[in-house]
Amino acid sequence: MTPARFATLAVRGSYDHAESANHLGSLTEPAYLTTAQHFESTEQMHATVAGEREGWVYSRRGNPTVRFLENTVAALEGYQAGVRASAVVTPTGMAAVTAATTPFLSAAVGANANIVASPACYGSTIMVFNNRYGRERGVPVRWVEDPLSVAAWERCIDENTRFLYAEAPSNPMVQLVDIPALAALARQAQIPLIIDSTLATPALMRPLALGADIVVQSLTKAAGASGRSMGGAVIARHDLRARSQPAELTGDFAGYLRAGPMRDMGSVLSPFNAWTLLADIRELRARVDAMSTSALGVARYLAGHDGVAEVFYPGLATHRSHDIARRDMWLVDSDADGRAAVNRFGFLLGFRPAGGVHAAHEVLDRFNLVWRANNLGQVRSTATIPASSTQKQVADADPALAPVPPDMIRLSVGLEHLDDIIEDLTQALDKR
């Protein structure tokens, strides 16, 4: 048989016929909603605890349902990447950001550590880097002045830099970075490049295939589009480049997190949430394809509307990241069977209604179909004003690190019919 394609991996994951036979023939992964495993003997328990036989012991150390999700996420992010990769899942996307970055800041591998990162990040990520790492641990963050400038990144890196970090596309400005170029800088410096690609999902872009070392995903978003569960994931290539780090960390970083920091500190995903996320992730490719197609239609409509001052979407030629998006964002397997590959630019966009902040508030309040909510990637279209919601903490603490227009509406396009979404936007923009 040929290797399974992306959509098949999303449906099957690591749960095949043989695995089904171990679970009384269940057609879907069972939900192990229990905290611990019973052992037939003391010898069996000791061998499992020691890692000498298969088993899961206690759900903080691992759970079969959670492991099925980890295997699926690793397969999707590692699809056609040409690298060995593994994944560990977390209770939230921010837990994944923390898990992916904290180990590299250990005092045991030297003092004077610094972080080099793009400021075009989700507000909570900026707060973690500035407050939890900078203020509380004394680890300075070097925010890259222009994330699209590779030279600007290079100027920030020195012998004490522990990792490079960026979102691609970023929330909420949907800005990309040149991942292959940053990967080259990271290789030269012998440090990992960490990319949060929540907004792309592996259906549109797989940073490991572009040279990144570690990928962060918020599974709460498009991967869990029903909106029933929160979750996050860290996916890492094996044999990381990381100066002064122990082999147990660099060999299998996700496995190291699972067996060490996350087990010890208890930042684990519940099996019930893993079970619901498994159900959602099966249709990831088709869902992101449909949502992205509609988002491009919405962006083009808004760009031509007299009541809109500006639109932010990487699928538009006016966006600063458009050329990178055209190079890196492709619907996975769209080139199968000799067909031409298809660009898809994601489901998130931003726009500024003409008339400033007051007008933006009025437009947001007039939505009838679009939901006013601070989440994205859901099957239902949602909208918010980031400057007064998701980015407000950053703006209050350091306005220079929150370059989000105060009148920008962030719109996450769902699975409603495109005509109905545009009709709702029209009535909201035209009622003056």
**For residue 69, is pLDDT > 90?**
yes
Question: Which residue among 281, 296, 325 closes a domain?
Answer: 281
Average pLDDT over residues 345-371: 97
Tell me: do 248 and 349 sit in the same domain: no
Radius of gyration of the chain, Cα coordinates, nearest whole angstrom: 22
Tell me: do 328 and 221 sit in the same domain: no
CB contact set of 18 (below 8 Å; sequence gap of 6+):
none
Q: Write the DSSP assignment of 251-311 as a string of letters.
A: HSHHHHHHHTHHHHHT----HHHHHHHHHHHTTHHHHHHHHHHHHHHHHHHHHT-TTEEEE
Q: Give residue 48's pLDDT.
A: 86
Question: Which residue among 281, 302, 333 closes a domain?
Answer: 281
Mean pLDDT over each residue of the chain, to the nearest integer: 94
Q: Is 52 part of a structural domain of the chain? A: yes
Q: Give residue 392's pLDDT.
A: 58
Q: Give residue 390's pLDDT.
A: 64
Tell me: do 397 and 303 sit in the same domain: yes
Q: Give residue 107's pLDDT.
A: 78
**For residue 193, is pLDDT > 90?**
yes
Structure confidence by residue, pLDDT tens digits, 127-158: 999 999 999 999 999 999 999 999 999 999 99
Average pLDDT over residues 170-184: 97
Q: Is 335 part of a structural domain of the chain? A: yes
Q: Is 1 part of a structural domain of the chain? A: no
Q: Give residue 56's pLDDT.
A: 85
Tell me: do 80 and 203 sit in the same domain: yes
Q: Is 157 part of a structural domain of the chain? A: yes
User: CA nearest 281: which of 231, 350, 321?
Assistant: 231
Tell me: do 331 and 200 sit in the same domain: no
Q: Is 197 part of a structural domain of the chain? A: yes
Question: Which residue among 236, 257, 281 closes a domain?
Answer: 281
Lowest mean pLDDT segment, chosen from 212-226, 287-301, 385-399: 385-399
Q: Which two tokens stand for residue 402?
A: 């929150």
pLDDT band at 337 (very low <50, low <70, confident <90, very high): confident
Q: What CATH number does the domain containing 203 carry?
A: 3.40.640.10
Give the residues across from 214 on adjacent strands: 194, 236
More confident: 61 or 200: 200
Tell me: do 288 and 217 sit in the same domain: no
**For residue 431, is pLDDT > 80?**
no
**For residue 400, is pLDDT > 70?**
no
Q: Give residue 394's pLDDT.
A: 64
Q: What CATH number does the domain containing 357 carry?
A: 3.90.1150.10
Q: Is 386 part of a structural domain of the chain? A: yes
Q: Is 385 part of a structural domain of the chain? A: yes
Please state the domain count of the chain.
Answer: 2
Q: Is 339 part of a structural domain of the chain? A: yes
Tell me: do 292 and 230 sit in the same domain: no
Give the phi and the psi of residue 64 in degrees, each rounded to 5.
-55, -40
Contact at 8 Å (CB) between 320 and 175? yes
Tell me: do 372 and 402 sit in the same domain: yes
Q: List the domain range (segments joined by +) for residue 323.
A: 284-430
Tell me: do 220 and 307 sit in the same domain: no
Secondary structure (3-state) at 18: helix
Tell me: do 172 and 299 sit in the same domain: no
Contact at 8 Å (CB) between 236 and 86? yes
Tell me: do 290 and 267 sit in the same domain: no
Q: Give residue 396's pLDDT.
A: 63
Tell me: do 132 and 68 sit in the same domain: yes
**For residue 389, is pLDDT > 70?**
no
Q: Give residue 70's pLDDT.
A: 97
pLDDT band at 51 (very low <50, low <70, confident <90, very high): confident
User: CA nearest 194: which of 268, 115, 128, 138?
Assistant: 115
